[in-house]
Amino acid sequence: MLVELGLMEQRHKAVLEVLGGLPVVEVARRYGVARQTVHEWMRRYATFGFAGLFDRSCRPATCPHQMRPEVEARIVALRRAHSGWGPHMLRYQLEKEQLDFVPSRSSIYRCLCRHGLIDPQKRRRRREDYQRWERNRAMELWQMDVMAGVKLADTTELKIITGLDDHSRFCVCALLVSRATARPVCEALAQAMRRHGVPDEILTDNGKVFTSRFGIVRGEVLFDRICRENGIKHRLTAPRSPTTTGKVERFHKTIRKEFLSGRTFASLEEAQAELDAWVTWYNTERPHQGIGMVPPDWRFALAASDAAPPVLVELEREAEPFLPAEPESRRVQRIVSANGRIRLVGFEYHVGRFLAGELVEAEIDEDGLIGIYHREVLVATHARRHLAEKEPAVWQKHRRPRQEKPKLVGRPVTRKVEPSGSVNFAGTAYRVGNGYRGQMVEVSLVGDTVQIKLEGKIVRTHEARHDKEKEHGAFAVPGGRPRDKK
């Protein structure tokens, strides 16, 4: 009668055959695997028993090029502070901060998806899908439009008459009006030309304030008359084609996100003053992604030759002394689960299976980093995945300043004396003596010293010379590494 054996049973049977005396090569040939695979089964069976024969994940234990938690926390903080910044702008900001390692644009995108700050299901357009079209130099073409959405405290809604240089994205006009009729629009155009010069062409949509193309009465409107008298060619978009004036439309999106988001103003004068300050910052300081991460003023002044560019004087700000505030630390105790993780505010953070069942402390600093300590030794660092306002109130009630770390006293571990007369603890060799070769001794950490005992008697005492961060790895294998059976 034929009996079908499961995968784990076949592996177990192969291990028993090798332990029974059969050669590894013959067992590997019978089961159709490589001899290295049989050796791996033997090592895992000797370490973990039958449970070690189950399939394991092929995921590597470490990833040398993984993004550091400090960089990940900085990316998350910048994104939450500036919701309109994408991966390209975040990478530019990290480069300005002169970090040792700046991740790529795709790595920043995956980081934002991992923290739920970007919807991964949303389709990302490829670079080749964008058809960039712009004039060769400044003052060749202006794009003008009218934007609504500026709210006052008395529920009045204002409109902004905007103008943008096609080549440099320089804002030439941003005038607030209560009603965007023909005369305010023309006054905004006249102010822009008095300040920046006369462009060669102006591109607008088919609004009645710009043209009578689709009006009941045909004729020349005031806007067309100003263009004709100043030698400006007035270009119009096709009906229902807002992408033709895409640059000024994108500028409206920037205004809504970075200037108008959730804001109301007391009066038109106050709103105009703040808008002028924001436009100055936009033109002179804010890097623009569409023109190579430089301010529009740089490209406008560099390329404009026929018309004299405006003289933009940056106000010198008096340097104020910077006094960094002392960071507040918050710690909370957690028990490490069987899978080597702890849970904080609905999110799991990896610590290590070798600390399963141990009590650890999680500390959160103001930069969004979570440090996990075991016996006052840092064992893991992660970027905070939860929002700061959702942290439990008990953390804020039981804040305590960082104290001086006490000296660690570890439990004894067993080590075999090597033929050289030394034992290895935390990656460092400590001398025992040639007379103790091959014997099992106990190694314990007491204060700043390493004590070596044989049958309860101290044989040698050395000053600790190993790396403190490797002590937990030594305590994780108290019996030493398993030896291969020959």
Residues 6+ apart with CB under 8 A from 389: none
Residue 172 counted as domain residue: yes
pLDDT (mean) for 263-273 = 93
| pLDDT score recorded for residue 443 | 86
C-alpha 435: how far from chain center: 56
Residues 338 and 429 in one domain: no
The token duo for 244 is 């033709």
| pLDDT score recorded for residue 324 | 36
| pLDDT score recorded for residue 130 | 59
Q: Rounded to two decimals, what is the model's pTM?
A: 0.52
Q: How many helices (H) and strands (E) does the chain have?
A: 13, 17
Residue 286 has pLDDT above 80, yes or no: yes
Query: What span, in angstroms and rounded, lies between the C-alpha atoms of 420 and 437?
Result: 7
Bridge partner residues of 451 (DSSP): 444, 461
For residues 302-323, one letter each, b for 16 or more C-beta atoms within 10 angstroms of the residue's C-beta and e for the rest, the string is: ebbeeeebbeeeeeeeeeeeee
| pLDDT score recorded for residue 460 | 83
Residues 258 and 348 in one domain: no
Residue 310 counted as domain residue: no
| pLDDT score recorded for residue 60 | 77
Nearest Cα to 170, choosing from 82, 40, 290, 52? Answer: 290
pLDDT (mean) for 428-453 = 85
- Relative to beta strand 377-383, strand 413-416 is unpaired
Residue 441 has pLDDT above 80, yes or no: yes
- Relative to beta strand 428-431, strand 422-425 is antiparallel
C-alpha 479: how far from chain center: 41
DSSP state of 212: -
The token duo for 193 is 């030309």
pLDDT tens for residues 327-355?
444 678 888 888 888 988 878 888 888 78
| pLDDT score recorded for residue 407 | 44
The token duo for 191 is 């102010």
Q: Which of 84-88, 134-138, 387-391, 400-404 has the lowest mean pLDDT?
A: 400-404
| pLDDT score recorded for residue 402 | 43
Query: What span, in angstroms and rounded, lies between the C-alpha atoms of 218 and 402?
Result: 78
| pLDDT score recorded for residue 223 | 93
Residues 182 and 272 in one domain: yes
Residue 448 has pLDDT above 50, yes or no: yes
| pLDDT score recorded for residue 379 | 83
| pLDDT score recorded for residue 146 | 95
Residues 6+ apart with CB under 8 A from 51: none
Residues 286 and 172 in one domain: yes
| pLDDT score recorded for residue 311 | 32
Other CB atoms within 10 A of residue 334 CB:
17
The pLDDT confidence band at residue 365, using thresholds 50, 70 and 90, is confident
Nearest Cα to 414, choosing from 433, 442, 449, 436? Answer: 442
Q: What percent of the chain lies above the pLDDT cut of 70?
A: 83
Residue 273 has pLDDT above 80, yes or no: yes
Residues 97 and 243 in one domain: no
Which ranges constitute the DSSP H helices of 305-432? Answer: 393-397
State which of 237-251, 289-303, 379-393, 401-415 shows the largest mean pLDDT: 237-251
Nearest Cα to 345, choosing from 375, 382, 374, 380? Answer: 382
| pLDDT score recorded for residue 173 | 94
Residues 39 and 88 in one domain: no
Residue 444 has pLDDT above 90, yes or no: no
DSSP state of 404: P
Residues 292 and 247 in one domain: yes
Is 300 strand, coil or helix?
A: helix
343 near 336, Cβ under 8 Å? no
Q: How many residues are there in the chain?
A: 486
Residue 319 has pLDDT above 60, yes or no: no
Full residue range of the structural domain in which residue 32 is found: 7-53
Residue 368 has pLDDT above 70, yes or no: yes
Residues 84 and 41 in one domain: no
Query: What span, in angstroms and rounded, lies between the C-alpha atoms of 241 and 263?
Result: 30
| pLDDT score recorded for residue 98 | 80
Q: Which of 6-20, 352-366, 402-416 has the lowest mean pLDDT?
A: 402-416
Residue 240 counted as domain residue: yes
pLDDT tens for residues 80-128?
988 878 888 898 888 888 877 889 888 999 899 988 888 877 666 666 5
Higher pLDDT, residue 324 or 275? 275
Residue 355 counted as domain residue: yes
pLDDT tens for residues 42-58?
998 888 888 888 887 87
pLDDT tens for residues 147-177?
999 999 998 999 999 999 999 999 999 999 9
Residues 271 and 179 in one domain: yes
| pLDDT score recorded for residue 99 | 79
Residues 291 and 335 in one domain: no
pLDDT (mean) for 214-226 = 82
Q: How far is CA 307 from CA 188, 267, 410, in A?
A: 18, 35, 77
Residues 281 and 195 in one domain: yes
204 near 236, Cβ under 8 Å? yes
- Relative to beta strand 201-204, strand 233-236 is parallel
Residues 210 and 357 in one domain: no
Q: What average pLDDT does the structure give for the chain? A: 81
The residue among 268, 287, 303 that closes a domain is 303
Q: How far is CA 469 from CA 329, 365, 367, 451, in A?
A: 21, 21, 23, 19
Helix H or strand E encompassing 159: strand 157-165
